[in-house]
Amino acid sequence: MNEFDMIKQYFQDPQLHFPHPNVRFGIGDDCASILPDENHELVFSMDTLVDGVHFLQTSNSFDIGTRALCVTLSDLAAMAATPIGFTLALTIPEAHSTWLQGFSQGLAEIAQRFHCPIVGGDTTRGPHCVITIQVHGQVKKGKALMRSGAKPGDKVFVSGDLGDGAGALSQVLENPLDSTGLAQRYFQPLPEIEFAQAIQSYATSGMDISDGLLQDLEHICRASQVGMMIDPESIPMSADLIDKVGYQRAMKFALTGGDDYRLVYTAPDCAHGIQIGEVVAEPKSVNVSGLDADDLLSTGYQHFR
Amino acid sequence: MNEFDMIKQYFQDPQLHFPHPNVRFGIGDDCASILPDENHELVFSMDTLVDGVHFLQTSNSFDIGTRALCVTLSDLAAMAATPIGFTLALTIPEAHSTWLQGFSQGLAEIAQRFHCPIVGGDTTRGPHCVITIQVHGQVKKGKALMRSGAKPGDKVFVSGDLGDGAGALSQVLENPLDSTGLAQRYFQPLPEIEFAQAIQSYATSGMDISDGLLQDLEHICRASQVGMMIDPESIPMSADLIDKVGYQRAMKFALTGGDDYRLVYTAPDCAHGIQIGEVVAEPKSVNVSGLDADDLLSTGYQHFR
């Protein structure tokens, strides 16, 4: 199968390459084109998933596809943006039709759910599977939810249970083919696109939790020039997670585990989400009641350590 | 060096991450943002370069950087778009500072030249170097140069010498560190952004030549539902190339070699460029006077053959 046939068969499928009012043209020319609504700006984010680092090639390619698009779309949720379309750079050693079929169906599952069709990309052969996705969305001009607006006196909220992403990892490593139970939070961390729309008018700052709550809160503190007092006992965790790994380990996962793709945001007040702390003027760092921050802060996920 | 330090040191350098009037915000939040001018649409294209397939890791990383950004920007030239900014997904085995320094300087050289700053991306560790770049540009609404507008009676033009890209390859494979002479056309195939602006109002269809003239002309014929008669003797080739490989091989490179990143376009008439043939109604394929097309058409570069 040549490159053009592969694109046609797996990536121009109408389940994946469907019309969107803001997409002028997609696959088939030298560029794709997006026209944001009037008074809107385009926002976009790029994420790479490497076989053996961010996923296991032994997982179902459907699950790899859902995860790849979910984690990238989460950055649009982080800005309270509405999805428009995504591009895919897929590097694979061989064009296995079963793998490609499952992968494109996984992408399509999430693309349909969040009205975000594929609009372009590049497929290349290489010794190792590498998946890069760029998502594009729009937000009213000047209304993107930034990391930089938190103010002393604001409260700190999260959108849902934390720790499941990290808690799922041991299950995934043990049985990469099982995407049920906790592992579903790993393979389908559904981006909180709708939730973000609901809090947009209240929130002063926000982001998605990908590297671990504490490390990501540090990003908000640095960008907003504030500090935070976090009450660990108010952090929501699933009964599944606590049952599986115990309260202490669940708390560690919730604080530092990463891969949750929930939203964390600040607001003077907000009817949505769960309050986990407060924004303070000093010290300009994240403090967790009853815990030594140094022990925890160094454990967020980082490449190239 | 962690991921954040690497981004700060090599990719937030002001030579590479400079302001652009259409970029609202770039690196530093969950998304970057672009706002096209009024009555303009955003166009974008993504290209992947894999070590050992599209470049040699033994080349200077500066040259790898210039080539990576040039070949991707060429897709903006193909649409007659003006560059705004690019995103970079870089997967590398180790964070070698000398390599990263050269690579980012190579990117900066081209970014400065075409007013196209870096606006976001992702850096990951993986066993093999893979570089994905997405370029973003703008064009007046409905004025993008598509592959689909060629009409019988139009003439076929190219923007400059063909064959140098393929001709340079043997030199590059022999001495990956030499980027002079013909090899310069391989490492810095400067995108024809300005040339495209000049022909935009005349051209009925167009694209950039990346896979080889004949294969790329087939794309225009298919999208426009036309055929073409090409006169090989009118195809411009450099004296350097003919001196080096002889006329016959130079012609083969010019017709099928790929990697040239010149523009090919159709127009009723045009003061710019070199005419190489004509658009015809039938047969709906590319015909080269005096040559058996079947011999040539199968040789454009393809992955996954």
Enumerate the CATH 3.90.650.10 domain ranges in chain A, comma separated.
155-297
Q: Do B235 and B109 touch, CB atoms closer than 8 A?
A: no
Task: Say which amino acid occupies A39.
Answer: N
- Interface check A91 vs B, CB under 8 A: yes
In whole angstroms, give the CA distance from residue A66 to residue A109: 7
In whole angstroms, give the CA distance from residue A257 to residue A168: 10
For the sheet with B263-267, list strands across it.
B205-208, B263-267, B155-158, B274-280, B227-230, B286-288
Three-state DSSP class for residue B111: helix
Three-state DSSP class for residue A96: coil
Length of chain A in terms of residues written = 305
**Predicted local distance difference test score (pLDDT) of residue A74:** 98
Higher pLDDT among residues A11 and A2, named by residue: A11
Mean pLDDT of the region A11-16: 94
DSSP H/E element including A267: strand A263-267
Cβ of B171: how many Cβ atoms within 10 Å? 18
Confidence band of A292 (pLDDT split at 50, 70, 90): low
The C-alpha torsion from B213 through B218 and B223 to B227, rounded to 10°, is 110
Q: Do B81 and B119 touch, CB atoms closer than 8 A?
A: no
**Predicted local distance difference test score (pLDDT) of residue A293:** 52
Residue contact A91–B130, C-beta within 8 A: yes
Task: Say which amino acid occupies A104.
Answer: S
In whole angstroms, give the CA distance from residue A222 to residue A220: 5
**Which of B:204-223 have CB within 8 Å of A?**
207-208, 223
Residue contact A207–B29, C-beta within 8 A: yes
- Pure H helices in B27-95: 61-78
- Interface check A93 vs B, CB under 8 A: no
A266-296 core/surface letters (b: 16 or more CB in 10 A; e: else):
bbeebeebbebbbbbeeeebbbbeeeebeeb
Give the distance from residue B143's alpha carbon to the nearest chain A alpha carbon, in angstroms.
Answer: 11
DSSP H/E element including A166: helix A164-174
**Predicted local distance difference test score (pLDDT) of residue A100:** 96
In whole angstroms, give the CA distance from residue B7 to residue B11: 5
**Which of B:246-285 have CB within 8 Å of A?**
none
**Predicted local distance difference test score (pLDDT) of residue A301:** 47
Express each pLDDT in A243-276 by its tens digit: 999 999 999 999 999 899 999 999 999 989 999 9
Residue contact B303–A81, C-beta within 8 A: no
Q: Do A41 and A141 touch, CB atoms closer than 8 A?
A: yes
In whole angstroms, give the CA distance from residue A126 to residue A57: 14
The residue assigned the tokens 């209304």 is A143
ipTM for this model: 0.92
In whole angstroms, give the CA distance from residue A75 to residue A91: 22
Residue A51, CB-side half-sphere exposure with 13 Å CA sphere: 17
Residue contact A134–B137, C-beta within 8 A: no
Nearest to B4 by CA among A242, A22, A211, A4: A211
State the best of B29, B55, B82 to mutate against chain A, taking most chain A CBs within 10 Å: B29
Enumerate the CATH 3.30.1330.10 domain ranges in chain B, comma separated.
3-140
What are the DSSP calls for B183-199, one per residue?
HHHHH-----HHHHHHH
B265 burial via Cβ count (<10 Å: 0-12, 13-18, 19+): buried
Which tokens sit at B160?
């400059």
Residues in B closer than 8 angstroms to A34, CB to CB, are 41-42, 44
Residue contact B3–A302, C-beta within 8 A: yes
Three-state DSSP class for residue A199: helix
Express each pLDDT in A69-125 by its tens digit: 999 999 999 999 999 999 999 999 998 999 999 999 999 999 999 999 999 999 999
Residue contact A302–B76, C-beta within 8 A: no
Confidence band of A295 (pLDDT split at 50, 70, 90): low
Nearest to B87 among A33, A46, A148 (CB): A46
Q: Do A89 and A121 touch, CB atoms closer than 8 A?
A: yes
**Predicted local distance difference test score (pLDDT) of residue A294:** 57
* Phi-psi category of residue A268: left, alpha or beta, with phi > 0 → left and psi -120 to 50 → alpha: alpha
* B212 labelled binding-site residue: no
Q: What is the CA radius of gyration of chain B?
A: 20
Three-state DSSP class for residue B269: coil
A239-250 core/surface letters (b: 16 or more CB in 10 A; e: else):
ebbbebbeeebb
In whole angstroms, give the CA distance from residue B301 to residue B305: 9
The fourth-level CATH superfamily of domain B3-140 is PurM-like, N-terminal domain (3.30.1330.10)
Q: How far is CA A154 from the centre of its chain?
A: 24
Express each pLDDT in A128-153 by its tens digit: 999 999 999 999 999 999 999 999 99
The class (CATH top level) of B155-297 is alpha beta
Q: How far is CA A294 from CA A81, A286, A291, B77, in A?
A: 34, 10, 9, 51
Enter the DSSP assignment of B233. Answer: G
Q: Is the bond preceding A283 in cis, omega lying within 30 degrees of 0? A: yes
**Predicted local distance difference test score (pLDDT) of residue B4:** 81
Q: Do B199 and B273 touch, CB atoms closer than 8 A?
A: yes
Task: Say which amino acid occupies A34.
Answer: I
In whole angstroms, give the CA distance from residue A288 to residue A180: 32
Nearest to A42 among B1, B34, B208 (CB): B34
Which tokens sit at A302?
């980082």
State the best of B2, B22, B46 to mutate against chain A, taking most chain A CBs within 10 Å: B46
Which tokens sit at A133?
């996705």
* B115 labelled binding-site residue: no
In whole angstroms, give the CA distance from residue A98 to residue A88: 18
Q: How far is CA B275 from CA A92, B62, B222, in A?
A: 39, 35, 20
Which tokens sit at A229?
């007092």
A169 burial via Cβ count (<10 Å: 0-12, 13-18, 19+): middle
- Interface check B303 vs A, CB under 8 A: yes
Residue contact A30–B78, C-beta within 8 A: yes
Q: How far is CA B297 from the centre of its chain?
A: 21
**Predicted local distance difference test score (pLDDT) of residue A290:** 80
Mean pLDDT of the region A42-48: 97
Task: Say which amino acid occupies A117.
Answer: P
Mean pLDDT score across all residues of chain A? 92
A63 burial via Cβ count (<10 Å: 0-12, 13-18, 19+): buried
Which tokens sit at A212?
């671990």
In whole angstroms, give the CA distance from residue B132 to residue B172: 21
What are the pLDDT tens digits along chain B (305 aa)? 788 888 889 999 999 999 999 999 988 899 999 999 999 999 999 999 999 999 988 899 999 999 999 999 999 999 999 999 999 999 999 989 999 999 999 999 999 999 999 999 999 999 999 999 999 999 999 999 999 999 999 999 999 999 999 999 888 988 999 989 899 999 999 999 999 999 999 999 999 999 999 999 999 999 999 999 999 999 999 999 999 999 999 999 999 998 999 999 999 999 899 999 999 999 999 999 887 655 554 444 444 53
